[in-house]
Homo-oligomer: A and B are copies of this chain.
Amino acid sequence: MEMDPDSLAKAFVEHYYRTFDTNRSGLLGLYQDSSMLTFEGQKIQGAQNIAVKLTSLPFQHCSHHISTVDCQPSGAPGGMLVFVSGTLQLPGEEHQLKFSQMFHLIPAQGSFFVFNDIFRLNYA
């Protein structure tokens, strides 16, 4: 059964942030050597480097809450852009942080990998 793109995007996003919040090193498997992450303006390339960056962020626990998920087809056949807005709760922080993030997902072996990933906190 094929899922429609919006359902696929939502399923990916739920999987991504659940993995981030409960087993961050498990994100490694979503990237490949060609993958790019721009995290708060810092450019990182390759699955290993991206996993090192994400697992070495200066907090152990966090909780993402998704507000919106938009998707559009782009790039390789079956590829899609996924655009997320939401909030991030860090331990010891009174206020949630707003963030937005985009992914370009490329089909690979019956699933997807993250080719592009850009993350920004939305400060005032």
What residues make up the interface of A, taking CB atoms closer than 8 Å to B? 36, 38, 41, 43, 67-68, 70, 72-76, 79, 81, 83, 85, 87, 98, 100, 102, 104, 115-116, 118, 120, 122-124
Contact = CB atoms under 8 A, between A and B. Distances in A.
A118 to B, nearest CB: 4
Contacts of A67: 123
Main secondary structure of the interface of A (DSSP, over half): strand
A38 B70 CA distance: 7
Contacts of A38: 70, 72, 83
A81 B79 CA distance: 14
B74 A115 contact: yes
Nearest to A36: B72
A74 B70 CA distance: 18
